[in-house]
Structure 1
Amino acid sequence: MSTQTIELSQPIPLVVSPKSAYLMCSPRLYDVTYVINPWMTDNLHATSRQRALAQWQRLYNALEEIAEIQLIDPQPGSPDMVFTANAGLERDGIVVLSHFFHPERQAEEPYFKQWFQLFGYAVIEVPRETPFEGEGDALFSAAGSRLWAGYGMRTAKESHRYLERAWNVETVSLHLVDPRFYHLDTCFAPLSNGYVMYYPVAFDAVSIAQIENFYPSHKRIIVSEADATRFACNAINIDRTVLINNVSRELSERLNAVGFKVVSLDLSEFLKAGGAAKCLVMKLSKSNPNLAG
């Protein structure tokens, strides 16, 4: 497994405090070779690997300005491995590994497990019959006091109790109801300073009420359908910096108005598979001594 750094070009000045850490995987073998979400339907073998590599590199360059990056090597037969957010959920050196709902992605699991074991994480696995798709469907609030966990498309609600036990954290289940937003991180983004960005249409009424009971109205950033389908909520937020696929000027201005610096990136090749910025990274704990910078 490689943790080799990649040469930077044209660094972007960003607003951030001490560095976070993320896991990424090169799109060297990326392609849309099957259909497991609506975005893939008309995009079989329609991606450009050259453009995907260039777009991923720009994300890498921007992220490395504000975070430590670890790499896992892509593997033949796992074209979606580039979406490392789905590998598992990690906090404080403990990782709950994913068991993918679709057989097409299950070949990724042993490679991610090996990587986490190699770097000294305590590994927890949910039962095979209980699908769980990692950080794609489980997001800590910015303060870390609550874990938001999605279910209904890929992840089974029963998996949430394993997450709650792993970190002894309040875990709130959110029911996803729109097939376009098959993972929680495609329609919901907890942001720093108590903000949240989300697309209400993706949730049932009970879930919307849970979100709105937690976040006061002035802290809620509701995205339009046009921005939601550009995967606006699939954003990487570190302190006051938000790395995001190209979205509307209105949304960028709204984020700027409440103190965020927006870094817009063209991630159109990854939208063809149903992913964007957040799907391409998995957050790691700097508290793991094996990841010390």
Structure 2
Amino acid sequence: MRTSHCAYQVAWTINPHMKVGAVSWSRARAQHRLFRRALRAAGAQLLELPFVHGAYDCVFAKDNAVLLEQEGQKRALLASPVFRERRQEQHARARVLDRLGFDIFSPPPAHFEGGDLVVLPGAHGALLGHGQRSSRHAAVMLEIFLGAPVTPLELKDPHLYHLDTALHVLSDGTALVCREAFTPAALRTLERTEGIHQVLSVPREEALGFGLNLVEVGHTVFVGGPAPWVELLLHAQGRRPVTLPLDQFHLAGGSAACLVSQLHPARQAVRERARPGGVRPEMLDARLGAGPLG
């Protein structure tokens, strides 16, 4: 039975940020609506996914699958989450993506979560965070799916458990990075990765506040809470940071980047999308509750 309790909430603890019962439903709904309006105003196209009954973390749409468009065909590589609390939403997500016209690809045999993948500018490669939630062995299937090299980077901070909480790569190849989140070897690998033009450091305290969990739409970059150093760096790179209140999602361990799943163009489609007047960025986001709640 779907009731008012079938909605986004913190009902379990699977990361260090979570505290059961911490979320205010009304504040979360207001923040999510504001975020959606801001994305659309910046030029993003949004497609809403339904809430999955009993899977309260399904609002973090990025984690479920990697989405790719190649020659007009949409494809989805399903994730293979570590925790059963996230695995329970995968069958429902696969059915919906299939109805939306995606070709569905089975998940890698090794653990992989969407928050650990960062696609590089031009879709010529990607970064895979491993060591907390995802396995570096997932890189093989990701390379086949993306048709591009995938560079594993080892994460070492349990509070920055997904790559998109510790790093953001701007469309010009500038990497904003919390260095404390990575092993020394991973930082050396990042600095010599093709497609990364420069690496700029961000304080750990701002990363812990989800200051690197960003969404870029054109020259606008959405930040899910106060992050003055990140905003300063974004201004210096010619971006327009827009800070939105997403603290109710921080209580579950996510923020702006977690709440949407971008449809990435394949390498051969990037040039077409980059032309003036080209296709607006497409993203999927999830409802916060079942029935009329969302």
- Give TM class, smaller chain: 0.7 to 0.9
Q: What CA distance in whole angstroms lies between the structure 1 residues aligned with 2:96 and 2:264? A: 15
Q: What per-residue deviation string (whole Å, max 9, x for no partner) do you get for residues 235-291 of structure 1?
A: 00122210011223333122112200001011111111110100000002578x9x9
Q: What CA distance in whole angstroms lies between the structure 1 residues aligned with 2:98 and 2:235? A: 40
| Correspondence for 1:45 among 2, 12, 21 | 21
1:126 aligns with 107
| Correspondence for 1:62 among 18, 24, 38 | 38
Q: What CA distance in whole angstroms lies between the structure 1 residues aligned with 2:95 and 2:75? A: 14
1:80 aligns with 57
Q: What CA distance in whole angstroms lies between the structure 1 residues aligned with 2:23 and 2:80? A: 26
Cα distance change, pair 155–95 in 1 and its aligned pair in 2 (3 A) = same
Contact 2:212/2:230 (8 A) holds in 1: no
Q: Counterpart amino acid of 1:44?
A: V
The question of 1:114 aligning with 2:90 is answered: no
The question of 1:31 aligning with 2:12 is answered: no
Larger mean CA deviation between 178-187 and 211-220 belongs to: 211-220
How far off its partner does 1:157 sit? 1.5
Q: What CA distance in whole angstroms lies between the structure 1 residues aligned with 2:147 and 2:197? A: 29
SS at match of 1:96: strand
Contact 1:236/1:242 (8 A) holds in 2: yes
How far off its partner does 1:84 sit? 0.2
TM-score when scaled to structure 1?
0.83
Cα distance change, pair 225–126 in 1 and its aligned pair in 2 (3 A) = same
The question of 1:198 aligning with 2:177 is answered: yes
2:286 aligns with none
Cα distance change, pair 217–95 in 1 and its aligned pair in 2 (3 A) = closer
How far off its partner does 1:161 sit? 0.5
| Correspondence for 2:199 among 207, 215, 220 | 220
Matches within 5 A, 1:124-163: 124-127=105-108, 129-134=109-114, 136-163=115-142
Larger mean CA deviation between 215-224 and 118-127 belongs to: 215-224
Contact 1:74/1:81 (8 A) holds in 2: yes
The question of 1:89 aligning with 2:70 is answered: no
SS at match of 1:63: helix
The question of 1:173 aligning with 2:152 is answered: yes
Q: What CA distance in whole angstroms lies between the structure 1 residues aligned with 2:196 and 2:95? A: 43
The question of 1:104 aligning with 2:85 is answered: yes
Q: What CA distance in whole angstroms lies between the structure 1 residues aligned with 2:11 and 2:232? A: 37
What is the RMSD computed on CA atoms of the aligned residues?
2.2
Q: Counterpart amino acid of 1:56?
A: H
Q: What CA distance in whole angstroms lies between the structure 2 residues aligned with 1:249 and 1:202? A: 19
Q: What CA distance in whole angstroms lies between the structure 1 residues aligned with 2:263 and 2:248? A: 25
For structure 2, the 5+ residue unaligned runs are: 270-278, 283-294
1:13 aligns with none
SS at match of 1:237: strand
Q: What per-residue deviation string (whole Å, max 9, x for no partner) do you get for residues 141-165 of structure 1?
A: 1221111011111112211100111
Q: What per-residue deviation string (whole Å, max 9, x for no partner) do you get for residues 47-82 of structure 1?
A: 101000011111101001110000111122100010
The question of 1:245 aligning with 2:224 is answered: yes
For structure 1, the 5+ residue unaligned runs are: 1-26
Q: What CA distance in whole angstroms lies between the structure 2 residues aligned with 1:143 and 1:221? A: 20
Q: Counterpart amino acid of 1:130?
A: A
SS at match of 1:39: coil
TM-score when scaled to structure 2?
0.83
Q: What CA distance in whole angstroms lies between the structure 2 residues aligned with 1:198 and 1:28? A: 36
1:274 aligns with 253
